[in-house]
Structure 1
Amino acid sequence: MNFFINGGLARTNSGVEHAILKRLQLFRDHDVPAMLVATDFFFDLHRNAVIWGLPESQLLGLHDWFIDARDFVGQGAPKLSDYPMPAGMVELPTGNAQLRQFAFDGQTTSLIDVNADANGDVYAVSYFDPTRRQTRAEWYDPRGFIIAEDRYIMLADKNVRESRAFYSPTGQLKMLYTMAHDRTDIDEFEMVSVFDYHGHDYQFFGSDELFRFFFDEINQAFGGANAFIADRGITEAWALNNMQTRAFKTFILHAGHLNDETAPNGLVNYNYQYEFDNIGDFNAVIVPTQIQLDRVANRFGYRERFFKIPVGMISDAVLSEPVKTSIERQPQTVVTVSRLDEAKQIDHLIDAMAIVHEQLPQAQLEIWGNGSDDGRLREQIARLDATEYVHLMGHTTAVLEKLANAQLFVAASRSEGFGLTMMEAESVGTPIIAYDALYGPREIVQPGVNGQLIGLHDTDNVQQMAHWIQHYLSNQQALEALMASTLEARLAYSETAVWQAWQNWLTTIAEWRQAK
């Protein structure tokens, strides 16, 4: 089995999760066993898997494993409309279709909040004392049972979580997390207890030890000598490296490995510090671009353990679909799909569109995604009086559709380990205008072939971005020519090409197994 380790799967995900989903699809299409191993608690993990098209056969959750819920199907979570009114209480009006509140007769604040998702399925029930201090919360698994319960206490005049208990579908206590609180009142797991696991109880100090035990258990359950890939090393690498059973251990670089990519011997990105400090203990390292592979191999050695494998791929189904011409797309529409984070420099794109607008008043910029920079970007759009042509569109699961409707894709990130959305833009024939950032843009974008690159640190980079946007939006012949060559360039990331890259890694694992 090939285990891809990650925290989990949410309704909105980062590029890491999207890369894992594409990898799982690739392995599924080629009948090679692979599973997403979810180590964190997501109450809606199984519903999210359905949303993202991940079959249950490729999903393995840590909590499902220890609470005996792997094969549980259930009848679904209770509906908000059917939730029974607690005895002796009355319902308060909320004006919210996803919330019901109950209180004792005569109370004006709720003592019980029942929360539901957009489908009306209950996912959490919160309990409060008469002062509106939360005392506990129940979490519903979408399959129809209470999977977890949080309890809260007062600590230094603040209400903090004391514990989280996990229950089996039959209501048996199976796991208990107790919390420690630092001076910032951020709760951290201090001890994890596992009850009646194969007839024994276990205690672990922190999640690292729990993860290590879990990895060893699934390794043995699936026959031993399995392959593990850590997609988020900061939370998984120690546990993977300290497994007690034989496993082929790999980590993937999804981002730049340095704090400052202009200093090849500078400080290592803290997300990968443990891996590089212990690189000799890992069997393989997967790097999505040749540029980054050369840099890390030259600095840390072990070149024979490095594999260049793109973290995404363009499926045969996408390649077989007809591609819209420029005139079939939304006219003069530019798009970006990104987490709204300061490092993505979306503000540069907005400034560039303000320049374009002066010459092409019909040009539009659609920004798909969400994140912490949302408020600042909205202020910028308002300040530039750009609300008519710059649009924060929010999250979408229909990424390819949005990209296929645009005439250009733009990106201004300071750093990209790969740049999955650039590859997706290329997949539907949408040319890319991007800053020449390490590492993905420099490898994916071929100037004049599938887009244009702009010097990341050029003092006039915003003006250059505006120039290229205006050039192609106002020159249909040039745009059509660029789109045609983009369709040729995308074959470098076809399912066939990327699967061939994975063959080298799979062959190495087969040789490792034979050499035991």
Structure 2
Amino acid sequence: MMNFFLNRAMGIGNSGVEHAEFYRAKRFEQAGLPYRFVFTDLVPELHVAMAKWHIKNQNVINMWEYFVLGDDYLKHGVTNAVSATSQMVIDDTNTNRKQDEITDSGIHIVRHFVKYPATKGDILIVSTARVELYNQVTGERRATFETIEDDHENHVILNIHLFNQNGRHLFFRNEVMLQRYFLTQLDAAFEGDSTFIIDRDEITEAALLNHRPEGAHIVEVIHADHLSDRDDPTHPLWNNYYEYMLTHLEAVDRVVVATELQRQDLLIDFPEDADKFVTIPVGGIRDQQALHTSDKRGVPLKLVSISRLADEKHIDFAIKAVTQLHDAGEAITLDVYGQGGEQQHLEDVIHAGHAEAYVQLKGQTHTPATIYPKYDAFISASYSEGFGLTYIEALNAMLPVITFKARFGALELIRDGENGFLQDFKRGDETYNVAQLVSGIKRLLAADYTTLHKNTQAGIDKYRDANIAKEWEALLHAL
């Protein structure tokens, strides 16, 4: 059996999906399960990114690299990595017209650009019109395709030509048909009995769910809430990442969710499919004992948050809550670890609250286990955590957690008043949400910290790496 993790693209980012996929790879290695990461986007520095995540080249397959480098590549991966380069040709109107790129796998990409008026507004848009792919070593052209903007302002590829695919010239009208061909080739190269594990990609779903290779299995992974808002009966809409899968559920063998609460919520809509939905955490904690915090709360109270600096994480709410408490005379500090597009905004919030002395942005950390023991409690202002890896990491370090009552991770991992504090929230009401975080911190300050500290350890063993590796092994062997 070969297991394929199907993705569109991935880089050196810090998203929850990336962490979940690379965590899964380590658990597969722990259980002795063979796997390959499979990417369907053309990524110029894919292998640089994979090296950052300690993924070996032979465990990485890119659809376009296969089309250019040939059959042997599927088994051995990129064997002669090069430094990626890029050169742009600009015309006398300072418009990009052509780009020559060399990827780190040795593909020569030629992108031809076109300038056209936007459908809205009096502006001109420059966009890729046609792409050619060459084998850098041989100079042979191996693929071409066109790109257009569809009615939803998404860029899609059409009219794909593949040259010298085992002596054949192949044509595909769209990417669905192209991926269908590619996935069939992938399955055959590894002698069938494949399991395709899809991490939210509708094009791959359309290619595979309606035309799976004989004997293959399909496992889908849900990384976030599958509904826009179950509590709003007028808008019980599927999350657009999972709509195609949930409306074609009969074609899927298993659906993996991170929490049992989410599994039970899905069974409200699919009560006859209990065997199809499986709970396996998307992250976990090490098998060896973690470093632990002291069972005595410090003065000042030291709070920590580890997160992408993204708008949906609402870190500014936590900063404003801490600022309010500090201005009211409470001895308190907050350190935020992470990086992302909201950094400047968060710096502005800190400056506006004159909080530079006790609220700090510490940058990204790759060793969170060494960070948690320096603090008294963990705080999160996100209400979009499907699992919440940092929650279980904080609990493992014996840190109580303050957060919102969000589906699904917080509700499953945090027991209000026992190992942390769950606060109400209202979407779109910042004042209310900041006040709720202030209340949560006050509840922590008034609680028996030693008892909270002890309670963090209840029930966390099921999130140990070895146990999660066994769950994946059991799922795959049961297919």
Task: Please tell me the TM-score bracket, short chain as reference.
Answer: 0.7 to 0.9
Greater mean deviation of Cα atoms: 3-12 or 460-469: 460-469
Aligned counterpart for 1:125 among listed residues 80, 87, 102: 87
1:152-231 to structure 2, matched below 5 A, reads 152-156=113-117, 157-170=124-137, 171-182=139-150, 187-231=155-199
Aligned-pair distance for 1:237? Answer: 1.6
User: 2:208, 2:197 → 1: CA distance?
Assistant: 9
Query: Once the 2 structures are TM-superposed, how far is the Cα of residue 16 of structure 1 from its aligned partner?
Result: 0.7
Q: Give the letter for the 1:496 counterpart.
A: A
**CA displacement at 1:185 relative to structure 2:** 7.0
Q: Quote the Cα distance in structure 2 between the aligned partners of 1:406 and 1:443.
A: 23
Contact 2:35 2:59 in 1 (8 A): yes
Moved more, 306-315 or 393-402: 393-402
Query: Following the alignment from structure 1 to structure 2, what is the Cα–Cα distance between the partners of residues 173 and 298?
Result: 52
- Checking the alignment, whether the CA contact within 8 Å between 2:86 and 2:102 is kept in structure 1 is yes
CA distance in 2 between partners of 1:141 and 1:487 (Å): 47
User: Judging changes above 3 Å, is the alpha-carbon distance between structure 1 residues 185 and 283 closer, same or farther for their aligned structure 2 residues?
Assistant: closer
Distance 1:428 1:154, change over 3 A: same
Q: Match for residue 271 of structure 1?
A: 241
**Separation in structure 2 between the aligned mates of residue 235 and residue 402 of structure 1, nearest angstrom:** 40
Amino acid at match of 2:226: H
Structure 1 residue runs of 5 or longer lacking an equivalent are 78-121, 510-516
Greater relative contact order structure (CA < 8 Å, 6+ sep): 2
Summarize deviations over 1:22-63 as a string: whole Å, max 9, x none: 110001011111221111122111111111111223222212
In structure 1, distance between residues paired with 2:244 and 2:96: 38
Q: Say whether residues 1:245 and 2:210 are aligned partners.
A: no
Q: In 2, Cα distance between the equivalents of 1:313 and 1:348?
A: 27
Q: Aligned pair 1:73/2:73, yes or no?
A: no
SS where residue 11 of structure 2 aligns?
A: coil
Q: In structure 1, the residue corresponding to 2:89 is in which secondary structure?
A: strand
Secondary structure class of the residue paired with 2:69 = coil
Q: Give the length in aligned residue pairs.
A: 459
Matched ranges for 1:463-478 at <5 A: 463-469=435-441, 472=444, 478=448
Task: Return the TM-score normalized by structure 1.
Answer: 0.81
Identity score, percent: 26
Aligned equivalents of 1:262, 1:335: Cα separation in 2? 30
Q: Is the 8 A contact 1:2 1:35 kept in 2?
A: yes
Q: Name 2:472's counterpart in structure 1.
A: 502
Which residue of structure 2 aligns with residue 34 of structure 1?
35
How far 1:140 sits from its partner (Å)?
2.8
| Amino acid across the alignment from 2:22 | L
Q: How far is 1:422 from its partner?
A: 1.8
Structure 2 unmatched ranges of 5 or more = 118-123
After TM superposition, the structure 1 = structure 2 runs for residues 284-363 of structure 1, keeping only pairs within 5 Å, are 284-300=254-270, 301-316=272-287, 319-325=288-294, 332-358=301-327, 359-361=329-331, 363=333
Q: Is the 8 A contact 1:353 1:365 kept in 2?
A: no
Give the partner amino acid of 1:159.
Answer: V
Q: CA RMSD in A?
A: 2.9
Q: In structure 1, how many angstroms separate the alpha carbons of the residues matched to 2:148 and 2:277? A: 39
Q: Distance in 2 between matches of 1:368 and 1:408?
A: 17
What per-residue deviation string (whole Å, max 9, x for no partner) do you get for residues 63-95 of structure 1?
Answer: 222111733332632xxxxxxxxxxxxxxxxxx
Aligned twin of 2:98? 136
Q: In structure 1, what is the equivalent of residue 202 of structure 2?
A: 234
Residue 404 (structure 1) shift: 4.5
Q: Which range moves more in the overlay, 398-407 or 216-225?
A: 398-407
CA distance 1:320–1:330, shift in 2 (3 Å) = farther
- SS of equivalent residue, structure 2 residue 110: strand
Secondary structure of the structure 1 residue equivalent to 2:354: coil
Q: Which moved more, 1:408-417 or 1:362-371?
A: 362-371
Which segment is superposed worse, 331-340 or 150-159? 331-340
C-alpha contact 1:286 1:306 (8 A) present in aligned 2: yes
1:436 CA displacement: 1.0
User: Do 1:329 and 1:404's aligned partners in 2 also have CA atoms closer than 8 Å?
Assistant: no
Distance change in 2, residues 1:9/1:397 (3 Å): farther
TM-score by length of 2: 0.86
Paired residues for 1:38-49 under 5 Å: 38-49=39-50
Aligned in 2, Cα 1:408/1:7: closer, same or farther, shift over 3 Å?
farther
